[in-house]
Every structure is written in structure tokens, then in C-alpha cells.
Structure 1
Amino acid sequence: MALPNTNTRYLFFTGKGGVGKTSLSCATGLALAEAGRQVLIVSTDPASNLDEVLGVTLGQAPTAVPGAPGLSALNIDPEAAAHAYRERMVAPYRGILPAAAIQSMEEQFSGACTVEIAAFDEFSKLLGDPAATAAFDHVIFDTAPTGHTLRLLTLPSAWDEFISSSTGGASCLGPLAGLEKQKALYAASVARLSNSAETTVILVSRPETSALREAERTRGELAELGICNQMLAINGLFAVAQSKDRIATAMSQRARDALAGMPSKLAELPACTIPFLPRGTVGLEALRLMIHPETASPTLSNSMPSTPLPPGLAGLVDEIAGAGHGVVMTMGKGGVGKTSVAAAIAVALARRGGKVVLSTTDPAAHVAATLDGAVPGLSVTRIDPRKEVADYTAEVLAKAGKSLDAGGLAMLEEDLRSPCTEEIAVFRAFARTVEEGRDGFVVLDTAPTGHTILLLDAAEAYHREVMRTQGDMPESVRQLLPRLRDPAFTHVLIVTLPEATPVHEAERLQGDLARAGITPYAWVINQSLLASGTTDPLLCQRGSYEVPFIRRVADDLARRCALLPWLAEAPVGVAGLVPMVR
């Protein structure tokens, strides 16, 4: 069996967005269930697709998976968890405090930070309290993308430090109100994560340099938290001994090079390898192929089906360039290539004579690594959370701190030590970067879907927080949502892959954007093997699999659509990015 071989009760799958954590965690759970175990799979991802992979509608209670005796699953819905958490904190005061006070409390619980705390609260009940999962032999956590996961894992120590250092009584930041009594549960959660007899953390990666670099970063940061019980799973390895097909040769060589250059400490971990599967990983039949890849039917055809293909990116870039200024935002599920698409568009706009800033709000920050060449008129920046928090804290203390007495200053400093401050600081930087689109082009390689939507939804929560601590709001923040909703100023590009889960996830994103009053400018389907020109039988089988998803986007979902082929030359540096805009 190619799957991770582990006997611990708790399995924790983590890794860069798009590496296949959900499919691998589901296949592992299915294999354990078919071996006679009772298994629960839990998703902590705000943009979970667990339902789709398992073929069952899930809620926040364990649901049996049809066709897989012994296997159950649930989704931790962060929004629902936040609503329940908020009501738990506010309900005792209804009918006691004035209506204005109740409204103020509800507002304090409405920000993105509350969602994160509430999700971790639910997560801790399952991990820290064995009674909550006593009916199961194994509990598998299909986690959110790496940056979000690490934030969840470090919340207990952050909150503990915040609570223990409190000098001004109860903080006026609402989300903290219910945490003191949870400290023991959170401590138990972290202890269980680091206990190698109970828990194994599986770092999932594709055989790609960027994914392996992310896995190494995760390995190191988990080790610093005392979580050293790790193993590595390389997912989707395509390997050919020799081939006359340029695409097959490039894909195989790129994987070999990435694995050969794997960081040494990552290479020391116990590891397993799952081969490339051409038909996707949605449904129990596909998951069983992951468990037993040797049972796959042989591939014979070396030709692609005939279907009309959308044009490339050049036409979209020409239209955007014609405006002379504005913002371009690439959005979508983690791992679909938002960074490469954003970098390619930034390079193309600069080569057309525009003044361009390429920036990211992604905690993983892969932009600088993708763009390693210089283009006249193009500058690359990053919204660095640590720097933004430091700058914001200094600014607030300088403006509001000088007029406070010792007690008031202590309470202000207490608020600023809260992890919620990072959301506010990053949001300010996001608004400031968007404002630069008045004088040139700003291309934003944004964070994965859930985090992006949290940023967009944070305007009102941000307003309330900043008014409390600072008493004013930067004009860039005041103008942010109007700018994002202005199709003449902001061009939102939804990036996806020609596969089931990325397309369905992007469709949900389009609905979320519509509710926020934002209409996508276009969709970009990235890394299409159907459009690559390959004649390798296995890759042709994958190309055939892409057809219904390309048609769904081009015919039904997108006002405009561009299709990018899988390129033999990696999209790194100017030389690799220029061919993407054709």
C-alpha cells in the first residue's frame, strides 16, 4: 500500500494548499475502515471539500459514509462555530444589560478573529477530550492550508500568554472572554499533538520545489512547537524512465529534480509515495485506486478528445492594460497556481509599459520565489504580518497612548498584544496596497479563498476595532470596498485547475464574491494537459478527464475565460513566466 503506514490513534494531515491533503486523508481513513477499524475524518479547513471527495453531505456531527462501513466524517464549519461561540458568550447577558451593551458585545464577536478562535475551540474538543471521539479507533484531521493550520496550533500559547499577562482586567476584545476556562483543554490538545504514541503528523507534498519548501517550513515550525512525530507523503509522482514526449519528460524530470533537492531534514523523515492518478481523486472508487494503484486499468490511447478550447491570457492582459491603472487580484483554492498567474500578468503589464506593483497577502509568500528576474517598471512587495503588527502597534500607542493614564495604557497595550491585532494590521496594509492602483497597476497574489473572504468581510469589524483604539480610519480603508466593487478599478481573476474540486471550490468563491458585491472579471483555467500537446497515454487520459470541467467554466460560469497549458518550462523567473501570456 502506498499510503502512510501508521498505527497512532490521531493522524494529522497538513501541507501547502492543493497538495492533496483531503484525498490522501480520505484514502487513509478508507483503508483503515476496510481493515476493520472505526474511523472519523474531521476537516478544519474553512474551504473544506470533504463532502465532495467522500460523496456525502456532512455537518458538524459524525456522518457515516455510504459504501464505506466503519468510516464517518464531519466538517468543523468555522462560521457556524463562530455563531455558536458568539451566542454562548452573549446569551447570559440578554435581559440583564441594556440593548446597546448587548449590541456592542455582538459587534465585538463579529470579526474574523472570532471565527478562528471558534474553529479552534471545536477542534480542541475533538483532540483534547478523548470522550468526544470514544466511538472511534482513529481520528484523522484533514487540516486547512499550512499557514492557517500553524496559526491554529499556536493559538493556545498565544492566548495563554495574552491571558497571563493581562493587567487591565477583562479585555474589551470580545473573543477573549471565553478563553480562560478553556486553557486546560487547549493544553491537552497541544500535549496530544506532540505525543508520538498517540499522534502522527503527515506532511503532504507534491514532488515540486515550492511544495517541498513549504513542507520543510512546516516541519521546522512544528518541531519548534514540540511536534516532532512527523512523516512525509509525496503525492502524485509522475515518473517515466524515458519518453519522446516533451511534456512527459519535463514533468518527470521536474519531479526528480525537486526530490533530489529536498531539504536534508525533510528527507530524513519516514516517507511514502503515492503515484500520479489520471482520473482524479473524488469518490470512493478513486480513493480505492489511491490505496491500491496497481489495480488501475492500463492506458492505451495517445490522443486527446476534440473540444473547443478557450483562448490564452494575452487578450485579457491587453484589456486590463488599456485602462492604464487599477488592481488585479488572483483568487482561488490553494495550489491552483494563483502566484504564477499573478506574476505572469504583472510581468506582461510591465512589458507593455505599465508601472506595476506585484504584492501578496499570502502567509506562505511564494511570489518572490516565483519571480526571480527583474523587469523595468515592475516592483515586488509583500505584506509582512510581523512588520505590519509592529508598525500598527507603534502608531496606536503614539496616537492614543499619550492621553491615557497608567490603567488605560495597560488596557490598550493588552488589546494590542491580542492575536486579533494581526488581522487589523494586515487589513490596513491590504487597503494601502489597493490604493496604489490609482497611479499604476497593482497585482495582488491573494491568500487562499477562505482567508481572502475573511479579509473582504473584515471591513466593518475592522472599523469597530480601529475606532476603539485609535479613533480614526485611514482613507484607504474607507475606500477599500468601493474600490473592490468597482469593475473599472478592480479586476478579480478566479484561478482554477481543470479538475472537479478546484472548479467546484471556485464556483463557491464566485457566489461568496457576489454576496460581497464583487463580480469576477474572468476565470483562468491553469495547467491544462489537454492544451499541452502531450501524446503520453497516461497524460492523455488526464487530458480527457479535464474536458467536462473546462466546458463547465467556459460555457456556464465565466463571463470571460482563459486557458493556460501545462508548460514544459517551469513558470519561474521572467523566462518561465512570459510564455504564460499568449
Structure 2
Amino acid sequence: MYQPFNPKVAVNTPFLFFTGKGGVGKTSTACATAVFLADQGKKVLLVSTDPASNLQDVLDIELSNTPLAIPSVNNLFACNLDPEEAAKTYREKVVGPYRGKLPDSVVLTMEEQLSGACTVEIAAFDEFTSLLADPAIVEGYDHIIFDTAPTGHTLRLLQLPTAWTGFLEESTHGASCLGPLSGLSEKKDIYSKTVAALSDPAKTTLVMVTRPDESSLFEADRASQELREIGITKQLLIINGLMKDYVPTDEVSTSFYLKQRNALNKLPDSLKQVPSFCLPFVSYSLTGIDNLRFLLKHYTMSASETPSTAQKYDLAGLKEVIKDFSINGTRVILTMGKGGVGKTTMASTIALGLVEEGKKVHLTTTDPAAHLDFMFRDENINELLTISRIDPKHEVEAYKNEVLSRAREELDEAGIAYLEEDLNSPCTEEIAIFRAFSEVVNRSQDEIVVIDTAPTGHTLLLLDAAQSYHKELARSTGEVPESVEKLLPRLRNPKETSVVIVTLAEATPVLEASRLQEDLKRAGIQPKWWVVNQSLYATKTIDPVLSGRAVSEEKWIEKVDKELAVKCAIVPLINQDNSGYKHLQNYVK
């Protein structure tokens, strides 16, 4: 169906940038490519700029921000840049001069504006730009491979002249997650050259890594189009984790295989134009040099592996999660996690379970593909359950128009262009949706409200800081409605509100969920439940490849249960042939 990925055939540029949503296998694919090219006699530098990087685990060696030779692979060098630390340094460089000169609330607002994902990405861009600006490094390697590419939003922002004026130090028109770029103003020329190199098809290949599931493919398509618009046209698509075959007598195996094929049948037309390759779904953990070599030989099982399906963990299921909320009278329930982990399904199932407990429930989602009305079309369910869907696109446009209409009275054309791009950041969507959510949560006086896709701690703190700024200086980083002002304390009240973090039993989803939890704790919110979703470990599969992968999930389940979660539940991979209400009932059971 797809040509197996072979770097010898697919790679012909010195710079490779791997991109894709969390958990699709960017790091393992980048590492396997680096090892393959080094084995071919190429001198290769592998660089990670991922805040949730597990590069050290994959290569089984401690790394720093200085390139280090990998002992077991001739010609391979690697370094692990820390964008979080870089962002911290960047924040202090921008904010430091104002400490003691401006009110504490103003400084707090500036710090929070510089705490978002976009700022971390800018800092990461600064780190790898420093490498590319060093002729000794660029000329010293045949290939430089970057694990995690910058988004189109960040690159467009860096191309705008106003980005370097620091006008946001004075502007308070939008709830920016990026803040002033003046802290990096001396790097303008270097950045321009780097962006130009990224757009040169003779120098750079963008490798989009995806899973064969609808949400990952949608994200790959979005990234492809966004980066193509700014001139990064040399692109490859790698469909990672593709099952080659299935065991017909194994319900889990059959369902998993068919789900992947159904998703690929819906591949967006624009992605069909991109040269595409595949890597197999493997039973072994993608850590260690030998396993990385196995991957690009397209082995599904390692030679020394003896899969086991022994079930050692006896964790709660969703039934216990639902019972806990019912007994404790929780009024607002928020499901959170990265895209593709099953937040919408978990929110819908929790709502269904509470309805079956006799509770009156309102379910809200931002997922346009959730088809909740179809899932809950049963008349008996509709008596106690109401459903609404917030349209992210509509809410974002309304918010952006509101902010820009105020800004146009004071900013020039260049300032407006910068602000428009800054409003394309992920935090803008969170803030816009949060304002709509705040209206829905008012319903919790009369019914339980279950919210799919909640705002992060950073967004909450950004809105909170905006309020403080408004009170101190009588000006605001965006109007904060009364419903939002009341909602913040309610979300921080554990007797009223509970957060469910949804993850998969894999490295990146767990590490990113851990960062999300820390983000929430900064905002004064302690998640109560973690749900490990779509677990093969919790099934009784006899498929040798799937059961091998089930074993590799164990350490991540243990990490969630023992280190991260107050309470932990596990949900097995469910037969995907069922749909709607019946499908959700399987999760409750």
C-alpha cells in the first residue's frame, strides 16, 4: 500500500526536520534515520529541541547541549537542546529589566505571556539556529537531523518586521501567549538566513511523521499546508506504526487493523500529493541502537523477544471513575490531554455513565467530528442528557475580530500584521473557547457539566494575570467577561470541579501529560484522575505483535500509577466495529 521508508532512497538534503503531533514517533523515527545514515558512512548530527524529548532513552546515553559521539554507532553525534531552560533564560532577559520598576502585577502578566508553548518554540528555534549559524558545525556533517520542527505560525511570526520592535511591551490589545520578541532582536539576521535555508529544497526536507489514525493524519495535513504556504515545499510523509497483518481470530487485532485501513482511506487529498512511506507497527520498544536498526529493516518483532500477555496491574476502570464523581457530587468535569488520546470518547463515556446513575448531565465538546447527537440518539438517554458543541473556528474568529477592532484605533499597519499573526497562536484558541465554556459551566447549578478539551493552566494564568493588569493599570490584555472571572475560582475548587487527564501508555503522551499537570498545578488545579486509554496491556490479545507492544506499555502504566496520578484508571483498546451509544457502553463496562 505504501513504500517502506528507506532513507537511502528518500533522503537527499543535508537538513532534515521531523515534525508531527505528540506520540506519533518523531523521536524514534528521527533516531532510526540517523543511525541508518551513519551506518551508510555519513557523518550525522542528531539534535532534539522537543520539551518532552526522550532522545536520551532512545539512544541509551546521557546527552547535553554539546554534540556527543554515540559510542555504538560510528559517525553519529547527538545533542539534546533544552528549550524549557532556553525559554526561562529568554523570559528573564525580557522581564528582568522591569523588576522593581513596574508593579508586581504587570511583571506577572509579562512573565505569563512568556510562559506559553509558542515562547518555548521560539526559544527552541533560537537554540537550533545557533547550531546552523556555526559554519564549523554545518560543514562538519553530511546531515543534521532535527527532532521537532518549528510550526508555520512561528516561522511566519519571525518573518514579520514588527516582531523585532518589541511593540507588545506597550501593546495590551490581545491576550498574547508569545509576548515581545525584542529579547532576541540581535538575532534577526541569523533568523532570516535560517528561515531562508528551511525554504530551500536543495538544503531542507520536512519529514512529517503520522500514525494511521484520523486525528494524526489531520494534523499532518494541517502542518503540511501551513509550512507549504511559507515556502517549505520539500516534504515527505511517514505513516508510522502501520500493521502489516492481523490475526482473524483475535477481535482486538482485527479491529486495530481495520481501524488503521479505514483512516487511511480518508487520507486528505492534499497529503496524497506528498511522497509517502510507511514504517511497521512493532512489538518491541524503540529504545536502543539494535531496535532502531530493526525498525528500518521493517522487522515487526525483534529476534530475541518473547512476548508475554501476563496481566499484573489491577487498576480501576471507567466505572470507578464515574462512581467517584457520582458519590462526591462533582459538578464540573474536564477531560484534558493531547490530541488523539481519546478525550472526546472519555468525556462522552463519563457523561453516559453519570446519566445511567440517574444524574442530569450536560456534555460540551469542541470536536467537530464527535457526532455526539448520533452517539446519544437513544430517547431514554436524551431525557437526562443535553449536548452542545462549541465551534472553535467561530469562537476564534469572533475573539480575533474583537481584539483587532480595538487595536486598529492605535496600531499602524505593521503592528496590526504582527498582532494578527500573534492571534494565530494556540493560546488564542484556548482563550476564545474558554470564554464560550464559561457560559456553559454556569449550567452546573442545575446539572453536571462535562467539558471535553479544557483550557491549560497557562491559559488560566494568562487570563488571571490579564485581570490583575486591568485592575492595576486600568487597561486589559483582552476583555475578561464576568462569567470568566467567576469561573477561575470554581475551577480551583476540588469539591466542585475535577480534571481527568487522558493519556496513552507511551513515552511522549505520558511525558506531555505530565507537563500539562504541572501547568495546571501552577494555576492552582490538582488533577484527580488519570485515565490510560486504548491500552493493549489491558486486553487479552493473542496477536504476537500486539501482545509484545502490551508488555512495553507496562513501565508507562507504572509511572502514571506510582508517580503522577492521585488516582489512575485504565481502559483497554475496545473493538472499533461498534459505534454510537453501544460503543460507549462498552467503555462504561
Q: Which TM class, normalised by the smaller chain length?
A: 0.7 to 0.9
| Residue 200 (structure 1) shift | 0.8
| Residue 273 (structure 1) shift | 1.3
Tell me, which stretches of 5 or more residues in structure 1 are unaligned?
none
Q: Which residue number corresponds to residue 386 of structure 2?
A: 378
Counterpart among 481, 492, 504 of residue 485 in structure 1? 492
Q: Which residue number corresponds to residue 160 of structure 1?
A: 161
Q: Which residue number corresponds to residue 458 of structure 1?
A: 462
SS of residue in 2 equivalent to 1:233:
strand
SS of residue in 2 equivalent to 1:282:
coil
Q: Which residue number corresponds to residue 356 of structure 1?
A: 362
* Residue identity opposite 2:467 in structure 1: H
| Residue 230 (structure 1) shift | 0.9
Q: Closer, same or farther in 2 for the Cα pair 1:196/1:537, shift >3 Å?
A: same
Deviates further, 174-183 or 224-233:
174-183
In 2, Cα distance between the equivalents of 1:346 and 1:3?
46
Q: Closer, same or farther in 2 for the Cα pair 1:218/1:184, shift >3 Å?
A: same
Counterpart among 294, 298, 310 of residue 289 in structure 1? 294
User: What CA deviation, in whole Å up to 9, does each residue of 1:555-577 have, x standing for no partner?
Assistant: 55433322211112168644433
Alignment of 1:48-447 (within 5 A): 48-89=53-94, 99-101=100-102, 106-107=107-108, 109-113=110-114, 116-117=118-119, 119-124=121-126, 126-127=128-129, 130-132=132-134, 133-134=137-138, 135-143=140-148, 149-157=151-159, 159-160=160-161, 171-172=170-171, 175-178=180-183, 182-240=187-245, 243-294=248-299, 296-297=301-302, 304-322=309-327, 326-350=331-355, 352-360=358-366, 365=367, 368=370, 373-375=375-377, 376=382, 377-382=385-390, 384=392, 387-388=395-396, 390-391=398-399, 393-394=401-402, 417=420, 419=422, 423=427, 426-427=430-431, 429-430=433-434, 433-434=437-438, 436-437=440-441, 438-439=444-445, 440-446=447-453
Deviates further, 194-203 or 555-564:
555-564
Q: Closer, same or farther in 2 for the Cα pair 1:387/1:62, shift >3 Å?
A: farther
SS of residue in 2 equivalent to 1:175:
coil
Q: How many residues align?
A: 560
Q: Which residue number corresponds to residue 176 of structure 2?
A: none
Could you tell me whether the CA contact under 8 Å between 2:499 and 2:529 is conserved in 1?
A: yes
* Residue identity opposite 1:485 in structure 2: R
TM-score by length of 1: 0.81
* Residue identity opposite 2:399 in structure 1: D
* Residue identity opposite 1:126 in structure 2: F
| Residue 45 (structure 1) shift | 3.2
In 1, Cα distance between the equivalents of 2:298 and 2:168?
59
TM-score by length of 2: 0.81
Could you tell me whether the CA contact under 8 Å between 1:338 and 1:495 is conserved in 2?
A: yes
Could you tell me whether the CA contact under 8 Å between 2:105 and 2:468 is conserved in 1?
A: no
| Residue 78 (structure 1) shift | 3.8
In 1, Cα distance between the equivalents of 2:83 and 2:161?
21
In 2, Cα distance between the equivalents of 1:554 and 1:108?
35
| Residue 425 (structure 1) shift | 7.1
Q: Which residue number corresponds to residue 579 of structure 1?
A: 586
Q: Which residue number corresponds to residue 41 of structure 1?
A: 46
SS of residue in 1 equivalent to 2:133:
helix
Alignment of 1:544-563 (within 5 A): 544-554=551-561, 557-563=564-570
Could you tell me whether the CA contact under 8 Å between 1:233 and 1:271 is conserved in 2?
A: yes
CA-based RMSD of the aligned residues comes to 4.0
SS of residue in 2 equivalent to 1:210:
helix
| Residue 508 (structure 1) shift | 5.2
Q: Closer, same or farther in 2 for the Cα pair 1:20/1:396, shift >3 Å?
A: closer
Could you tell me whether the CA contact under 8 Å between 1:205 and 1:211 is conserved in 2?
A: yes
Tell me, which stretches of 5 or more residues in structure 2 are unaligned?
173-178
Q: Which residue number corresponds to residue 475 of structure 1?
A: 482
Q: Which residue number corresponds to residue 175 of structure 2?
A: none
